[in-house]
Amino acid sequence: MFPGLRRNKKQAQKPSPGVPEEPQFGVSSEGEQVPEAASAAELAALEQSLPAAIDTSKPLLTVTGVERSFPVGGQQLHVLKGIDMSLYPLQLVMLKGRSGSGKTTLLNLIGGLDQPNRGEIRFKEHLFHQCGDDERTYIRRKEIGFIFQSFALMPLLSAWENVELSLRMAGVPRAQWKPRVTHCLELVGLVRRMHHRPFELSGGEQQRVAIAKAIAHKPSLLLADEPTAELDSQMGAQVMNVFRDIIRTERMTICMTTHDPTIMEVADRVFEMVDGKFINA
């Protein structure tokens, strides 16, 4: 339904490591010019720092037999009842399912925000089900980016400062902040709005700032919980175009939840959750 939004499996599975990408200007239909572009040297340094080669045959994340329950009213509420899934590098993976089926609970586990009662979660070489809180927090800050339905931006900070904040949090050296923030805002097509604060931006623009913020520290995995739910279909399509650009140019894997069948059309893989289990895995 969205032109230019079809998935491209070949592209997703067969990156061309080492081939410099053209600079992406994300949502260029707005005709935005870049007032303060990073210098060629800064961009070259940025290219250098991107991961060179990724083995797409090995999973980035493996979930095996995962169960999660919560104590509610003196009883255990079984929310996840045995989940198995693998996420491969450079995939756009979607979790679908009714409200209350357990999607957010699973996303929190995958992102190291929570731990399973049973089962295993391996992210790269890390075993999340065995890691302590501090170790998971450290891995998360370095390797994982989060996007939420409600954007989760700092209200008093500008778009630029919001993106910069995640570089501070991840301990990225200060010298890299300017080129990286510029690059991320270009990627989401928002350089012209860099000085705006969240309340001065539309919902779609806020979500694109949130995306720039979530990818600034170059995570290998981007998790997005219903990122298009509060957007109209056109803004939702823009967000999905940005996701495709991110996979292609930043070499990330994206796992997101959605209710929207039109959005699902662009997924490489869809897992359908019903009552704490996948029905199509």
In the complex, which residues of this chain contact ligand ADP (CB under 6 A)?
70, 72, 77, 79, 97, 99-105
Q: Which is nearer to Mg ion, 91 or 101 (CB)?
A: 101
In the numeric block, the tokens 């609970």 are attached to 105
Instruction: Say how far apart CA 124 and CA 132 lie, in whole Å.
Output: 16
With a CB cutoff of 8 Å and minimum separation 6, the contacts of 261 are none
Nearest approach in angstroms of CB 256 to ligand ADP is 12
Structure tokens at 192: 């012209």
In the numeric block, the tokens 């797409």 are attached to 56
Structure tokens at 121: 């979660």
Instruction: Say how far apart CA 168 and CA 147 lie, in whole Å.
Output: 18
Q: By rule CB under 5 A, what string of x and - marks binding of each residue 94-123 to Mg ion?
A: ---------xx-------------------
Count of alpha carbons within 13 angstroms of residue 78, beta-carbon side: 10
Residue 147 backbone phi and psi in degrees, to 5:
-130, 135
Residues that bind Mg ion (CB under 5 A): 103-104
